[in-house]
């Protein structure tokens, strides 16, 4: 079983076990990672599960849809490797992946 | 194109920057008054309140949820429940606002809100049109790509980063209002607290003259009270005089800030200063409809919504007293309660779209060009998504999963500010008061859009 590492804005780390097929957002919620609000419950419609993926892992997270891109454009915290955690489906290939949390969710 | 924009366009050809915005609005008022006398204008509906029948006595086709008295007469729950259960995507052929579709279930609303490529927010998000001659341009009623640029220019003012700097100020002003409230006697919570606090907040956001802050609330009320737009009670002439006053004072504020900037003085974190510091928006004053549109959107957006959630929370805790006990025993529940208040109250009933193509939705075919109304107030009470939705439960599971802020690219920009204002209010209330008892029935708005209170008499018991 692999793991994902979440790093909060202040540096606090959290680890979540990878469950194949689950979304990164759900993994964060199930492991009580703070700072993921998930207001729309994973529909790519609120932008409150924003994470910044470590560059080395970005190609493992799959393609980004235009809807996701548009939602991310709404947040002033957006960075180059920003993703919505609800749009990333976990797989064992992501073992060791590091994602940072923005200071604020929109 | 609106009369006012035509008027302005013509002006631009002849060197318009010389014509102050206030006079442009006044000019439009004259045009509209003449048209009215000549009966050239679009008729404005008049709404006379009649008792609304029990929904069980009506056929499905007869149900008209655009009735601006549905909320006031507390019939909205039964009307929307019937639609959700029997006809979740419902067509009303002949309302005073014209024909429209109602989307009433949570999942269907989410679908419409998310798919802005299928459903356009243009020309406006209300059931009815804006008053003739007063059609402003706001990004809430624009599609991409124009929407994206305009929203990006102003969203910084209510972005969480900015809010952090405002928290202490909001808390001090909230404390000041609560400390001066008369206790153990009947007072109107709406005027003393809800309107006062939201007006103070708006004055802060705009750095508007503090002593004139109630004007902001008044402008918002007049704009949101348009009969043909929302089924409200505003008078057309009043709407024009109000718009002219707003145009004058907001333009003046802009010029003051611009002068400050010119002398190299440091600008604050208020809305106009932010617009002036951004290359895309620093000349917005020269695009009057866009300038006024942004001002009006932020004034309305920051007014009714938070105001009525401030009143709604008090009412909810009176209707569900065991939740008040729960709250007092565990004030850490305040953030969760704030989300529950926003769901339970749903201060704005809906947003409207227009289908850009034929769309199948829950067994119905919506035709290209049809008006589609997403009833957030109904979706927030959808039993399919929310357990015991009519109950107010401050520690509800998944409490943030409500529709009140909308979803997709038009999602409320001020959501974090609203949550912060309400959180601070309740933190400060619990410090001071043991009870806020609602005495008598509160008075509710006449509107199919704003779900709020015009008066709520309470008696406050301070902590021993």
* Per-residue pLDDT at B1 exceeds 70: no
Summary count for chain B: helices (H), strands (E): 18, 12
Domain-embedded: residue A106:
no
Tokens of residue B368, six digits: 């290209």
The tens digit of pLDDT for each residue in B66-92 reads: 999 999 999 999 999 999 999 999 999
pLDDT at position A53 over 60:
yes
> What domain range is A82 assigned to?
3-100
Per-residue model confidence as pLDDT tens digits over B343-402: 999 999 999 999 999 999 999 999 999 999 999 999 999 999 999 999 999 999 999 999
Residue B2 has pLDDT above 80, yes or no: no
CA distance B252 to B250: 5
Q: What is the ipTM of this complex?
A: 0.94
Q: Is residue B69 within 8 Å of B42, Cβ to Cβ?
A: no
Residue the block writes with tokens 């227009």: B354
- pLDDT of A64 > 80? The answer is yes
Strands B98-103, B371-375: pairing kind: parallel
Kindly list the residues from chain A whose CB atom is less than 8 angstroms away from the CB atom of residue B113. 45
User: For residue B361, what pLDDT is reported?
Assistant: 98
**Residue A75 domain-assigned?**
yes
Which residues in chain B have Cβ-Cβ distances shorter than 8 Å to A40?
110, 401, 407
Contact indicator for B136, B457 with CB cutoff of 8 Å: no
Classify the C-alpha dihedral A83-B408-B296-B414 as positive or negative.
negative
Which residue is it, tokens 């609303």?
B109
Interface A-B, measured as beta-carbon pairs within 8 A, has a size of 54
| Cα-based angle B155, B156, B158 (whole degrees, multiple of 5) | 75
Q: Is residue A46 part of a domain?
A: yes
Residue burial B429-463, b: 16+ Cβ < 10 Å; e: rest? beeebeebebeeebebbbbbbbbbbbebbbbbeee
Determine the residue of chain B that is closest to A104 in CA distance.
B160
Asked if A106 lies within 8 A of B110 by C-beta distance, the reply is: no
Please report how many Cα atoms fall inside a 13 Å half-sphere around the Cα of residue A10, on the Cβ side. 3
Cα B287 to Cα B1, B20, B283: the distances in Å are 15, 12, 8
B160: its two tokens: 């969480």
Which chain B positions have a beta carbon within 8 Å of A9's beta carbon?
none
The mean-pLDDT minimum among A14-28, B144-158, B191-205, B437-451 falls in B144-158
B44-462 is classed CATH 3.30.70.260: no
Domain count, chain A: 1
* A40: closest CA of chain B, how far (Å): 6
Mean pLDDT score, B259-277: 88
For residue A91, being part of any structural domain is answered with: yes
CATH of residue A72: 3.10.20.30
Given its phi and psi angles, is residue B396 left (phi above 0), alpha (psi -120 to 50 degrees) or beta? beta
Nearest to A73 among B113, B148, B159 (CB): B148
- Would the pLDDT of A69 be above 90? yes
Cβ–Cβ under 8 Å, residues B113 and B410: yes
Are the beta carbons of A39 and A46 closer than 8 angstroms?
A: yes
Kindly list the residues from chain A whose CB atom is less than 8 angstroms away from the CB atom of residue B401: 38-41
Relative to beta strand B364-366, strand B350-355 is unpaired
Domain coordinates in residue numbering, chain B = 44-462
């Amino acid at each position: 079983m692999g793991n994902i590492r979440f790093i909060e804005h202040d540096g606090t780390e959290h680890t979540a076990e990878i469950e194949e097929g689950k979304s990164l957002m759900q993994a964060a919620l199930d492991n009580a990672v703070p700072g993921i609000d998930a207001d729309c419950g994973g529909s790519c419609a609120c932008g409150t599960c924003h994470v910044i993926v470590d560059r080395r892992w970005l190609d493992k997270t799959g393609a980004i849809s235009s809807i996701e891109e548009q939602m991310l454009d709404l947040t002033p915290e957006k960075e180059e490797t920003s993703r919505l955690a609800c749009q990333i489906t976990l797989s064992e290939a992501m073992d060791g992946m590091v994602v940072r949390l923005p200071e604020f969710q929109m | 194109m609106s009369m006012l924009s035509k008027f302005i366009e013509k002006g631009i050809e002849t060197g318009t920057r010389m014509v102050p915005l206030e006079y442009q609005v006044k000019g439009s008022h004259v045009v509209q008054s003449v048209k009215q006398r000549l009966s050239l204008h679009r008729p404005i509906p008049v709404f006379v309140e009649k008792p609304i029948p029990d929904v069980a006595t009506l056929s499905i086709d007869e149900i008209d949820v655009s009735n601006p008295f549905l909320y006031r007469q507390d019939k909205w729950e039964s009307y929307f429940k019937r639609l959700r259960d029997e006809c979740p995507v419902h067509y009303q052929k002949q309302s005073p606002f014209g024909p429209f579709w109602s989307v009433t279930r949570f999942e269907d609303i989410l679908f419409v809100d998310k798919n802005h490529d299928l459903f356009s927010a243009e020309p406006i998000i209300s059931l009815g049109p804006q008053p003739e001659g007063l059609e402003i341009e706001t990004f809430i009623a624009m599609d991409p790509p124009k929407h994206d640029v305009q929203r990006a220019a102003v969203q910084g003012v209510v972005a969480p980063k900015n809010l952090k700097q405002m928290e202490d100020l909001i808390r001090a002003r909230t404390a000041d209002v609560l400390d001066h409230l008369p206790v153990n006697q009947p007072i109107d919570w709406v005027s003393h607290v809800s309107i006062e606090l939201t007006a103070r907040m708006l004055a802060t956001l705009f750095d508007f003259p503090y002593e004139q802050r109630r004007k902001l609330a008044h402008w918002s009320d007049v704009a949101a009270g348009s009969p043909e737009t929302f089924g409200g009670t505003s008078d057309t002439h009043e709407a024009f005089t109000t718009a002219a006053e707003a145009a004058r004072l907001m333009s003046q504020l802009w010029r003051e800030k611009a002068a400050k900037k010119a002398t190299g003085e440091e600008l604050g974190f208020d809305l106009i200063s932010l617009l002036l510091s951004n290359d895309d928006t620093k000349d917005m004053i020269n695009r009057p409809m866009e300038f006024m549109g942004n001002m009006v959107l932020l004034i309305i957006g920051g007014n009714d919504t938070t105001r009525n959630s401030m009143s709604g929370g008090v009412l909810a805790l009176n209707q569900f007293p065991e939740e008040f006990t729960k709250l007092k025993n565990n004030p850490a529940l305040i953030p969760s309660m704030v989300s529950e208040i926003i769901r339970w109250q749903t201060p704005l009933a809906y947003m409207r779209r227009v289908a850009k193509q034929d769309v199948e939705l829950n067994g119905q075919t919506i035709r290209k060009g049809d008006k589609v109304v997403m009833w957030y107030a109904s979706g927030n009470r959808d039993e399919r998504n929310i357990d015991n939705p009519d109950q107010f439960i401050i520690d509800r599971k998944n409490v943030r999963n409500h529709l009140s802020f909308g979803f997709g690219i038009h999602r409320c920009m001020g959501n974090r500010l609203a949550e912060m204002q309400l959180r601070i209010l309740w933190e400060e209330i619990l410090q001071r008061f043991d009870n806020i008892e609602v005495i008598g029935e509160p008075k509710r708005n006449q509107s199919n859009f704003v779900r709020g209170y015009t008066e709520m008499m309470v008696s406050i018991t301070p902590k021993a």
